[in-house]
Amino acid sequence: MTYEQPLSAATNATIRIKLFKNVKNVPHLRKQIISGALKCCIIKPNLIVDPFQIVVAANKALTANKMTTRTMFAEILFNLSISKNITQSLQKFGIDDNEKDIIVVVIDKGDFSDKVHEVYEQIKGEEVDILCLKDLTDLKEVKKAYKLSDTEYEKLSILDSVVSRIATKDCI
Amino acid sequence: MVIAIGFEGSANKLGIGIVKDGEVLSNCRRTYITPPGAGFLPRETAQHHRENILEVLKEALDEAKIYVKDIDVVCYTKGPGMGAPLASVAVVARTLAQLWNKPLLGVNHCIGHIEMGRLITGAENPTILYVSGGNTQVIAFSRNRYRIVGETIDIAVGNCLDRFARILKLSNAPSPGYNIEQLAKKGKKLISLPYCVKGMDVSFSGILTYMEERANQLLKDGYTKEDLCFSLQEHVFAMLIETSERALAHCNSKEVLIVGGVGCNERLQEMMDIMCKERDAKLFATDERFCIDNGVMIAHAGAEMFQSGTRMSWEDCTITQRYRTDAVVTTWRRE
Amino acid sequence: MEGFELLQQGAEARLYKGIYLGKPTLVKERFEKKYRHPDLDKHLTKERIKAESRAIIRCKSAGIETPTLYLVDFTKRCVYMEYFEHSITAKEFIKNASKDFIERLSYEIGVVLARMHSNNIIHGDLTTSNILLVNKSGKDDFMTNYSDLKVVLIDFGLAYIESSAEDKGVDLYVLERALVSIHNDPEKIFDLILEAYKSSYKKGHVEVLLKFEEVRARGRKRTMVG
């Protein structure tokens, strides 16, 4: 149901990724995140190929010496994008008020296990198996967003190409 | 027992030396030094050699305390180098060989450096970094030749340094490289410069052009001449050490020998030593008597060739501006 | 490096293997070179890491299989990338595979190199140890079914982007030398590689092969200058 993965050993953190459909209180959740009251990252599903994509972006955020954005959660959204423009990145990968299906990401540093439930309680929607993500992915949009070439899109693993772009954003 | 006399004049150093079975009997030299800001050109350099060669010859013979009849072979630099200077010295060597009725051998300048380096330092089978005004090569001995494992794809490191010295109008006495070295010791700020290593090869024209275009502005911006010299050395030497290290790893060697005029530089030697210690290898280097072009190295390499049976006809005793190190079969050294 | 096993130590870097983010991972940790001024060392290492990453990404754009990158850490001078557990090097493969398989591999290498060079990517260290055959089904069988295998290029530590025919020629020359020094029938293999290279790199191959012949005739890696 939940996708869980320990991040880099030095971070002492585990990422937990859940998928929710038909969420009724998205505008409220957004306000809560911006105010800092809700400690999670909410991602639009259409540009996510596989939860591992989020793992790589989150791992990068947690292992970085210096963040570009102001919060860890904003940093995850920023890292998912190949753009160096923060606003653009947050808009592209984050949700807007009209979104019904959302990916909820929580970073558990061991001390957080109890608070995790608090996050999920706030979401007024139906939790589905994370595997259902593949039905929500828009591969054509992914190709555009990550500037994948036609050859690459046809021949290679899209997840591998996307993840590699996330990892090397600072190298280009 | 072979007594050899060697004549060297491929660039601005005129050297005549006499060696007997690996023992240096005399090593005499004159350097053609141009005013600050000017480089040496072939015609004037050849003129300098012609004007001084007989005096240097007498000096070499007197110092060695030998008679002409004791000499077994006359050796001269066949190449590589500048045409007119090479020719001016070769003519004298050929004439003397005929007058004295001695065999004549044309020696490869680079091999002269290598064999002299091996003789003086005792290095057995080193990876060789040969760096001078005219040459920059990383060399490894294999299958009877000194193989060029890496080299400059444009100008030699010494040439880069010399031309930089001209931009700063540094004195050419005793040599521009020496003066850059002294200033560099007092440099503090490191300027970021182009760094160009491609595999085992290096390129210096980029960093030189960069300096040519920006030196004046950098000096205005608050960097000193010392800072510029320091930065240039740190970059070009790092490039040389990097390619040497790759060659060392590739050839599985445990010894490094630095030869050629730029090899006198203490910072280069220090950097190479650090690299060698990290790889558990040993560094060998000579001092300015033998780093800088000299006649003894030609005599010694020639003696080795002679003793192993190499002979050259008069027709073969020409000079050539391009003469690759790996073109010579090392008859005196077999694998 | 905690939790990782040291695989290899070269002149430039150490290679470690382990599980990272749930995936088999190779970590390339570049050395600090103490002979260099520290600022220069930091700068160069960062540039090298960037160049290697760029070449890998560019290969993917060209449809060439390369390791997936997971994390680039400039401070620790490390790159974390995909480790291929069910793979062998082309070097090993050629020693043991059937004639037919070797022919198919040679042809495929030619096609891949053509694609690489037409995208102006210079590998810089093309040896048969830097070409992997990976079993797509996750089995350690490389001799039964060729279509189970895919060709992956690795070790882009000396790679750079360059359009010059000479650099591409040198790239091919390095591969030829590597084949000659290790394998028994290098000419046949290399001939097939070149054949595939020619038909796949329609426009560019002529100039590249001209330069390749020049470099080969001199018996050394670069056209002599000065």
Q: Does B332 fall in a domain?
A: no
Q: SS3 of B212, please? A: helix
Query: B256, B242 in Cβ contact below 8 A?
Result: no
Q: Does B30 fall in a domain?
A: yes
Q: Which domain holds residue B213?
A: 125-288
Decide if C125 is catalytic.
yes
Distance CA B180, CA B309 (A): 43
| pTM attached to this predicted model | 0.88
B130 is in an annotated binding site: yes
**B71 shares a domain with B32:** yes
- For C207-216, the pLDDT digits (tens) are 999 999 998 8
Residue (of B235, B292, B243, B324) closest to B14 by Cα position? B292
**B148 shares a domain with B46:** no
Q: Does B103 fall in a domain?
A: yes
Q: Which domain holds residue A26?
A: 3-171
**B250 shares a domain with B219:** yes
- Which member of B148, B154, B190 has the closest CB to residue C39? B190
- For B17-35, the pLDDT digits (tens) are 999 999 999 999 999 999 9
Across the beta sheet with C131-135, the strand order is C87-89, C131-135, C149-153
- Please list every residue in chain B whose beta carbon sits closer than 8 Å to the beta carbon of residue C217: none
Q: Indicate the number of domains in chain B.
A: 2
- Percent of chain A past pLDDT 70, that is, above it, reads 98
* Average of per-residue pLDDT across C148-158: 95
**B165 shares a domain with B22:** no
H/E segment holding residue C206 = helix C205-218
**B273 shares a domain with B147:** yes
**B245 shares a domain with B170:** yes
- For C158-172, the pLDDT digits (tens) are 899 999 999 999 999
Give B113-131 as a DSSP string. Answer: HHHHHHHHH--SS-EEEEE
B262 is in an annotated binding site: no
Q: What does the radius of gyration of chain A's CA atoms come to, in whole angstroms?
A: 15
Q: Does B118 fall in a domain?
A: no
**B310 shares a domain with B162:** no
- Give the CA dihedral C41, C47, C51, C53, nearest 10 degrees: 90
Q: Please report all neighbours of A, defined by 3+ CB atom pairs within 8 A.
A: C
CA distances from A103 to A16, A97, A124, B231 (A): 10, 14, 13, 52
Per the model's pLDDT, the better-predicted residue between C183 and C43 turns out to be C43
Beta bridge partners of B142: B145
- For B49-59, the pLDDT digits (tens) are 999 999 999 99
**B261 shares a domain with B319:** no
Beta bridge partners of A16: A4, A106
Q: Does B334 fall in a domain?
A: no
For residue C124, which amino acid is it?
G
Give me the CATH number covering residue A60: 3.30.2380.10
Give me the CATH number covering residue B155: 3.30.420.40
- Give the CA dihedral C172, C173, C174, C176, nearest 10 degrees: 90
Interface TM-score (ipTM) > 0.90 = yes
Confidence tier at C9 by pLDDT (50, 70, 90): confident
**B259 shares a domain with B136:** yes
* Tally: H helices and E strands in chain A: 9, 5
Q: Does B120 fall in a domain?
A: no
pLDDT at residue A150 greater than cutoff 50: yes
Catalytic residue of the set C125, C141, C148, C185 = C125
- Which member of A56, A65, A157 has the closest CB to residue C75? A65
Q: Does B75 fall in a domain?
A: yes
Confidence tier at C226 by pLDDT (50, 70, 90): very low
Q: Indicate the number of domains in chain A.
A: 1
Report DSSP state, residue A131: G
